[in-house]
A and B are shown apart, each in its own frame.
Chain A
Amino acid sequence: MTADQTVGIERVAVTDAAVEVLRRLTAIHGPLMFHQSGGCCDGSSPMCYPAGEFMTGQADVQLGVLEIGQTAPIEFWMSRKQFEYWSHTHLTVDVVPGRGSGFSVEAPEGVRFIIRSRLFSDDEAAGLVPVL
């Protein structure tokens, strides 16, 4: 993210419970990243990987960077096409008990990251800046 983009309205947040899990996972795996999934089975789940494990590129947009305290911030990515259908909603990374799937790093902990969504208010929508 460039400096002027950080002044835009936040698109993605993280709950305290998720921050706690992310700190624990960072201690195990090093810096982390998210890529929002789509499709069936565990689709719609935010997949958490060691930073750089998942190759992002022109097909993706970065919605924001999650600050989780002393450890490295966590980039949150989504495919560009999927973002076209999601752009009007604010996302919050939360965590629930679960078995998880895919190759997301939290699964062995017995928890699963989950996305909570809400619509942007008109004021917020006016303050949004384009994603990268």
Chain B
Amino acid sequence: MSDYARPNTPGSVMSYESKYDNWIGGKRVAPVKGQYFENTTPVTGQPFCQIARSTAEDIELALDAAHAAAPAWGKTSATDRANVLLAIADRMAANLDKLAVAETWDNGKPIRETLAADMPLAIDHFRYFAGVLRAQEGTLSQLNDDTVAYHFHEPLGVVGQIIPWNFPILMAVWKLAPALAGGNAIILKPAEQTPASIMYWIDLVGDLLPPGVLNIVNGFGLEAGKPLASSSRIAKIAFTGETTTGRLIMQYAAQNIIPVTLELGGKSPNIFFADVADANDDFYDKALEGFTMFALNQGEVCTCPSRALLQDSIYDSFLADAKVRTEAVKQGDPFDLSTMIGAQASNDQLEKILSYIDIGKQEGATVLTGGERTDLGGDLTGGYYIAPTIFEGHNKMRIFQEEIFGPVVSVTRFSDFDDALSQANDTLYGLGAGVWTRNGNTAYRMGRGIQAGRVWTNCYHDYAAGAAFGGYKGSGIGRETHAMMLDHYQQTKNLLVSYSPQKLGFF
């Protein structure tokens, strides 16, 4: 028996319904064409519920509801809006284990992570944006004795958000919390690989929001995502995913002249300087954990530290220790609290990772550990499990250049600071990076030199709400998390006021 019972089994803290409609105007609404698709759990590969297969007609219904709700929500006081966010957070906290079980079943990640990371972070995110909203002020500037420029924050109106499948609830909340705080109404399109947990979530918290302020429409990208992204009735589109869809979304946004924010992934370097091994102490232990962070969330993280750069003089010893640490990662039933790595989110993801392991071997990279699918026995045999994998190779190999989005780290060596920086920046992307050193000067200079939006320094995979997250280069446009996120969901209104009774004298 696992520590937590699966949904819909005796002793489970939560149950999924057999079918989920869309959430539009504060209630469940069946898809106009009456179609549904089957949703599977990656834990076993078996289907467990039906999800609305929506089309442009459903997006229009959601847009109608959002446009009806947006004006009043936008004029709701900051206090009242913040209180709604706090109420959502409280409701989630009171149901944390239910949400965690729901998320593990839909996504495949271990219950340990959904309990300790996904849900607490999501809850904190609502509280953070409630806080920053309360503290947000406009500005005024006295341009001269008679003239004042006032700057007000105004909502954008109705926004579209398309979210990924790697942290289905947390990534939704990253986008929802600032958009709601900013006074916008939303149409959210979840990923079709993980559409269920967010519907369970809205059933829990839906009554706390005025009808129409948040609408959730499920379906396929082509059938539901495209009508949303290309709609002339949205004031902004936000997307997390990959580069080709990112470009397509920009293309649609260009036609409507609306802003986009895009988070398109990376190939994050994790750099270990020799002085990390100056002592076999807590810090060295922390650095080894930092290396092993590539396995967090099965490697399905846009900032997965999937390129490890080790300095020559410690290469062999550090890698030997890192191998031991990696092999200690326990793979098993995602509902066991001791399980550290669960299932990949979908079959196609599993296949893609295996195809990269294949090309890595062909390119001459060496598999130090892992490198294959794991069969956990019982009904988990049908699930999508891959052993944590360490490759040794060089930075020009495709496994060093493409985000595999699996528990696969590609390791190479560097000689000195300049070599490390050069290899770190030899990538199309610039989302995350890690720097490990006991030398503050090295850490600072490397951190400033790396062309990435987030450089974890002597830590990794910390996702604090108050730290800005986003990409350089091909990793996207804009930021998520941090108070600055409100700027991505608000317009600036300037009132330029003259208090002079005198004419200018031009005419």
A79 to B398, CA, bound (A): 15
User: In the complex, are the beta carbons of B165 and A41 less than 8 A apart?
Assistant: yes
User: In the complex, are the beta carbons of B242 and A42 less than 8 A apart?
Assistant: yes
Q: A38-B402, A38-B474, A41-B164 are in contact. Are A101 and B241 (CB under 8 A)?
A: yes
B348: contacting residue among A89, A98, A108, CB under 8 A: A98
Residue B50 interfacial (CB < 8 Å) = no
Q: List CB contacts (< 8 Å) of A28-47 with chain B.
A: 35-45, 47
Interface size class of A (residues with CB under 8 A): 35 or more
User: In the complex, are the beta carbons of A82 and B241 less than 8 A apart?
Assistant: no
User: In the complex, are the beta carbons of B242 and A103 less than 8 A apart?
Assistant: no
A39 to B471, CA, bound (A): 11
User: In the complex, are the beta carbons of A99 and B243 less than 8 A apart?
Assistant: no
**Size of interface on B: residues with Cβ below 8 Å to A:** 55
- With a cutoff of 8 Å between Cβ atoms, the chain A residues found around residue B359 in the complex are 89, 117-118
User: In the complex, are the beta carbons of A47 and B351 less than 8 A apart?
Assistant: no
- With a cutoff of 8 Å between Cβ atoms, the chain A residues found around residue B402 in the complex are 38, 43-44, 85
Q: List CB contacts (< 8 Å) of A108-127 with chain B.
A: 108, 112, 114-119
User: In the complex, are the beta carbons of A35 and B165 less than 8 A apart?
Assistant: no
User: In the complex, are the beta carbons of B398 and A43 less than 8 A apart?
Assistant: no
A99 to B355, CA, bound (A): 17
CB-CB nearest in chain B for A99: B193
User: In the complex, are the beta carbons of B265 and A55 less than 8 A apart?
Assistant: no
CB-CB nearest in chain B for A49: B248
- Give a binary string over B416-446; 1 marks a CB under 8 Å from any A CB, 0 the rest: 0000000000001100000000000000000
The interface of chain B, by Cβ under 8 A from chain A, is 37, 40, 53, 164-166, 191-193, 220-223, 225-226, 229, 240-248, 251, 263-266, 301-302, 346-349, 351-352, 355-356, 358-359, 362-363, 396, 398, 401-405, 428-429, 474-475
7 A-B pairs besides A40-B166, A47-B244 with CB distance below 8 A are A42-B242, A43-B403, A55-B247, A100-B220, A104-B221, A117-B358, A117-B398
16 contacts between A and B (CB under 8 A): A35-B244, A37-B243, A37-B245, A38-B402, A39-B403, A40-B241, A40-B265, A42-B242, A43-B402, A43-B403, A47-B245, A53-B248, A96-B347, A103-B221, A108-B222, A117-B398
